[in-house]
Structure 1
């Protein structure tokens, strides 16, 4: 009798598993977000009538590969599946009074957003930090080399003052739609376990672009926030100057953690950085002028001055 019962259970499990595999159920978890909205028709995966409750609506979204979120309207029993998580793009949703909106749990990186939401543009997105569970707004570069990059430093118009205190560098400063520094605490939490790829893009005063890319990037925990990374990817035209900053602690004018015993590199250069003694490259230096052109640092021993910079990871 027990053997028969066990055999029936195994057959049932196999049948259920085959069904799950055939419809590609992905066991996504949904969370209630807000009331009164639905996705626009161009972002709609399906619309069903006479769905008795939101749980059944969620099951319909589960078994549809194109569905990432859904709206359910209790008074009319209407279920609407959406191809995007609403809030990713303001233009992706519209008012729908009386509805309840649920979406997949917030992604933890720009890479996840890029993988889960097709054709999303560069811009500001909300992610959930994996350890603290804090919801953080970040800027995602969805254009460079396939997209999915979380930008943590961007300078392009010399409008933001970068000679800041250690506390400010920990927390971050600036505006994500302009020049900014995301913050050492956030970068450390996002990279310590994942070990993503680090990328630097700089433009020099002779309008040349240089890129440095490194594997296995992360920061040690504070207060040192030591810069760690692995091998350099094959970057054409790059000397790999950031290698001189590898394994260095982060320093500012008020917290000196560099390797120079007789000076404070951050005070001399006017900006926080992973200084050695001192550095071939610093992207956070105070803005200076050379022959009437503003710059934010030098690039290696070439005599080139940096005019714009971007640091990001994926």
Structure 2
């Protein structure tokens, strides 16, 4: 090809009739990519051997081929004995493995073994291989059935090189030098990379130690901060408790002052506590008796405790069991004193009950000479005595009945909850009248006085029996 230096140097061809080994070296043209620097071919043909056979020849010919192997002769490494070489196998085909295809270590190998022919072709990519010595060895049986080995070598012989080819040799030497320089540069780069990696690892390890130390310092600071916060929280909680106590004390005083104003406006008063007015006082847990109660004066100048009042509909009486147990509402309007207090008060002695009802501008009352409420375990059961008054004895049928609310049904009916039906808690018995805690303007009933109507105001008062 024009512009390229293609030198085919037939260094040695062994014409052992059928066995042939050749090495064609392709010199680079100076530009462009070069995939290989030479091609080695080893061939054995039994047909050629039989054709060239004659009776006078002393050469041993193969009748069948069992294997073909290509070796590379390399130096033993001793500087004193440069001619001492050893052989390295680079390719082989046998009757068991009749074909081979392999690429690696700068070699591209292709070979096959047929009935009368064997060939191994090796493309050489490294300059060192292109100037090496190769040996081709064939094993098989001769015409007499004897095991036979034939060998052919490719060796370098001096040849006459034209003046125009000197440039090719110089280029080849230059390429070898460049390859050596590149190898040295790569080795230097690898050493440098190794040093950089060691330095980087040392820096990373140092940074890791410093980070762990900083994290430890932060954890200590966090623990100290938590301890300070806990101390501050304790002081803050103590201050909060004092503030809350002060607030409730102030609120209680304000409530007492407000209640006092309401009582003064209504001509009524508040008992400081109940125990001093009971002639059979006995101690009750949680100091239930030692709390303010709304009181009034009866016709004889004695004190009565108001336990229930409905005057303006300001309070919803459709409450749950807990609300009725502790009481609700306000002394200046509608309220229920609370079942727990009723039990605590009436358990200190004998009390009387007075019920006052107003309807259509008329007023009436009902008095019972005994009144008490059982404890929580007995569902705050009602107990009343003999009746006298003008409103009628509507409460007598419910003597001995338990208290019911919308969430605690104790009325004796299985089909409905009377407290839920009439919107208020009471001592119900089959949802019959009366019910002074019902819905305002609808179910405030004392049927012996209001009939089917709703009372306009009610109050229930108790006092110690004289």
- Give the TM-score band, short-chain normalised: 0.5 to 0.7
- Describe how 1:60-209 pairs up with structure 2 within 5 A: 121-128=267-274, 130-132=283-285, 133-134=287-288, 135-204=290-359, 206-209=360-363
**TM-score using structure 2 length:** 0.38
> Does residue 272 of structure 1 match 2:419?
no
Q: 1:300 aligns with which of 418, 441, 447?
A: 447
- Describe how 1:21-60 pairs up with structure 2 within 5 A: none
User: More relative contact order in 1 or in 2 (CA 8 Å, sep 6+)?
Assistant: 1
Contact between 2:317 and 2:438, CA under 8 Å: does it hold in 1? yes
Contact between 1:215 and 1:229, CA under 8 Å: does it hold in 2? yes
Distance in 2 separating the partners of 1:128 and 1:143 = 16
Structure 1 residue 214, shift from structure 2 partner: 0.4
> Does residue 222 of structure 1 match 2:376?
yes
- After superposing on structure 2, the runs of 4+ consecutive aligned residues of structure 1 that deviate more than 4 Å are none
Structure 1 residue 303, shift from structure 2 partner: 2.5
Contact between 2:422 and 2:443, CA under 8 Å: does it hold in 1? no
Bigger helix share: 2
C-alpha change, 1:146 and 1:260, in structure 2 (3 Å) is: farther
- Please give the secondary structure, in 2, of the residue aligned with 1:211: strand
Q: Indicate the structure (1 or 2) with the bigger Cα radius of gyration.
A: 2
Deviations 1:183-218 (A, max 9, x none): 0001111002412001100111x2221211101210
Distance in 1 separating the partners of 2:460 and 2:362 = 17
Distance in 2 separating the partners of 1:160 and 1:284 = 10
Contact between 1:269 and 1:286, CA under 8 Å: does it hold in 2? yes
Contact between 1:124 and 1:176, CA under 8 Å: does it hold in 2? no
C-alpha change, 1:148 and 1:212, in structure 2 (3 Å) is: same
Distance in 2 separating the partners of 1:280 and 1:145 = 31
> Does residue 310 of structure 1 match 2:465?
no
**TM-score using structure 1 length:** 0.56
The number of residues matched between the two structures is 190
Contact between 1:122 and 1:141, CA under 8 Å: does it hold in 2? yes
Q: Which moved more, 1:163-172 or 1:296-305?
A: 296-305
Structure 1 residue 156, shift from structure 2 partner: 0.4
Distance in 2 separating the partners of 1:307 and 1:226 = 27
Contact between 2:366 and 2:391, CA under 8 Å: does it hold in 1? yes
Deviations 1:2-23 (A, max 9, x none): xxxxxxxxxxxxxxxxxxxxxx
- Please give the secondary structure, in 1, of the residue aligned with 2:357: strand
Structure 1 residue 173, shift from structure 2 partner: 0.4
Deviations 1:257-303 (A, max 9, x none): 1122321100100000000111221010022xxxxxx3442221622
Distance in 2 separating the partners of 1:90 and 1:310 = 20
Deviations 1:131-164 (A, max 9, x none): 2334211000114553411011011011111000
